[in-house]
């Protein structure tokens, strides 16, 4: 199993769409540790997000798509983000959903027992490190060629009542959430462009709530070096039935119109 795939456009641009949570694949050693219900593999993935960006390569954006499930390794977490309850030698903090998950979003156990450090290192070497080496190299290639790079970290977010995020009222979660860690991971003009286009397409927008951006946004977003990173969370209710996990064709078409316009705008905008 390949950890990820890179889909290159015919004509390169400064834009890279990263999809770290769409993968569903698990290798045999990981399966030996897994006790989570089978439904959780799909429910805790950013299911179908890659299908919302199918036009990106045609428009000039590179796509980096993970194949591995986040139940093997979460590619949007730091490699040292784990606690001692999850992995031997981890910190005393309670981090059940770090670079490896101990609990699903619904509170079910993911692994049968605490993981030895050697198994974590196997997963980091097999999946996490190659993925981030590729991501860093793609961004540097684009920055060197075009003078700037734009990383769009593509994610989806559940409706609170469906996925147990009961601390948030359903009405409090917008359709589109750009996460930029307080407008620090990208220059304002890029953030404002995402906001404007989302509203033009009739979506509600809330910045940094309930997601401020994960590891990729924090680690690679360096606007002082002309590398701009925005985590884009799209509400799953817009394009799928969250109970049955079935796509809504009309919803998919609507969201694709937005993502297509967004990629086109990011590709053609001057720095």
Its pTM surpasses 0.85 = yes
pLDDT over 90 percentage in the chain: 89
DSSP secondary structure letters along 161-221: HHHT-TTS-GGGS-SEEEE-TTTTSS-HHHHHHHHHHHHHTT--B-TTSS----HHHHHH-
Q: What pLDDT does 270 receive? A: 64
Is 236 in a helix, a strand, or coil? helix
Q: Is residue 93 part of a domain?
A: no
Q: Is residue 141 part of a domain?
A: yes
Q: Count CB-CB contacts under 10 A for residue 47.
A: 19
Q: Are strands 15-19 and 149-157 parallel, antiparallel or unpaired?
A: parallel
pLDDT at 170 over 80: no
pLDDT digits (tens, 9 = 90+) for 112-124: 999 999 999 999 9
Q: Is residue 92 part of a domain?
A: no
pLDDT at 265 over 60: yes
Please give the structure tokens belonging to residue 134.
């590729």
Q: Is residue 28 part of a domain?
A: yes
Q: Is residue 211 part of a domain?
A: yes
Q: What is the mean pLDDT of residues 233-256?
A: 97
Please give the structure tokens belonging to residue 39.
């439904």
Q: Is residue 204 part of a domain?
A: yes
Q: Which domain holds residue 172?
A: 4-76+123-268
Q: What is the mean pLDDT of residues 144-151?
A: 97
Do 40 and 107 touch, CB atoms closer than 8 A? Answer: no
Q: Is residue 55 part of a domain?
A: yes
- Count of domains observed in the chain: 1
Torsion of CA 131, 209, 232, 38, to 10 degrees: 60
Q: Give the Cα separation of 172 and 196 in Å (integer).
A: 20
pLDDT at 164 over 60: no
Name the residue among 23, 51, 57 with its Cα closest to residue 240: 51
213's torsion region: left (phi>0), alpha (psi -120 to 50) or beta?
Answer: left
Q: Is residue 110 part of a domain?
A: no
Q: Give the Cα separation of 20 and 75 in Å (integer).
A: 6
Sheet containing strand 62-66, edge to edge, reads: 4-7, 62-66, 15-19, 149-157, 227-235, 176-179
pLDDT at 212 over 90: yes
C-alpha distance from residue 222 to each of 63, 147, 179 (Å): 20, 13, 14
Do 68 and 26 touch, CB atoms closer than 8 A? Answer: yes
pLDDT at 168 over 60: no
C-alpha distance from residue 93 to each of 81, 96, 98, 193, 222 (Å): 10, 9, 11, 38, 28
pLDDT at 201 over 80: yes
Q: Say which CATH number the domain at 169 has.
A: 3.40.630.40
- Residue 214 backbone dihedrals phi, psi, to 5 degrees: -95, -150
């Amino acid at each position: 199993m390949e950890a990820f795939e890179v889909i290159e456009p015919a004509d390169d641009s400064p834009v890279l769409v990263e999809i770290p949570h769409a993968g569903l694949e698990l290798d045999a050693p990981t399966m030996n540790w897994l006790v989570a219900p089978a439904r959780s593999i799909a429910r805790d993935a950013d299911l179908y997000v890659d299908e919302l960006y199918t036009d990106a390569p045609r428009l000039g954006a590179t796509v980096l798509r993970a194949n591995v499930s986040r139940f093997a390794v979460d590619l949007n977490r730091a490699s040292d983000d784990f606690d001692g309850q999850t992995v031997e030698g981890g910190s005393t903090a309670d981090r059940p959903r770090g670079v490896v998950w101990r609990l699903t979003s619904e509170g079910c156990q993911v692994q049968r027992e605490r993981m030895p450090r050697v198994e974590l290192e196997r997963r980091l070497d097999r999946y996490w490190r190659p993925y981030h080496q590729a991501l860093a190299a793609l961004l540097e290639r684009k920055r060197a060629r075009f003078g700037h790079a734009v990383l769009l970290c593509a994610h989806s977010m559940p409706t609170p009542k469906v996925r147990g995020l009961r601390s948030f009222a359903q009405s409090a979660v917008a359709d589109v959430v750009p996460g930029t860690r307080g407008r620090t991971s990208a220059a304002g003009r890029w953030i404002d462009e995402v906001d404007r286009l989302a509203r033009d397409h009739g979506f509600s927008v809330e910045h940094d709530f309930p997601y401020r951006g994960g590891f990729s946004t924090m680690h690679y977003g360096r606007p002082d070096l002309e590398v701009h990173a925005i985590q884009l969370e799209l509400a799953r209710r817009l394009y799928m039935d969250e109970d049955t996990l079935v796509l809504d064709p009309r919803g998919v078409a609507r969201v694709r119109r937005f993502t297509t316009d967004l990629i086109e705008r990011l590709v053609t905008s001057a720095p």
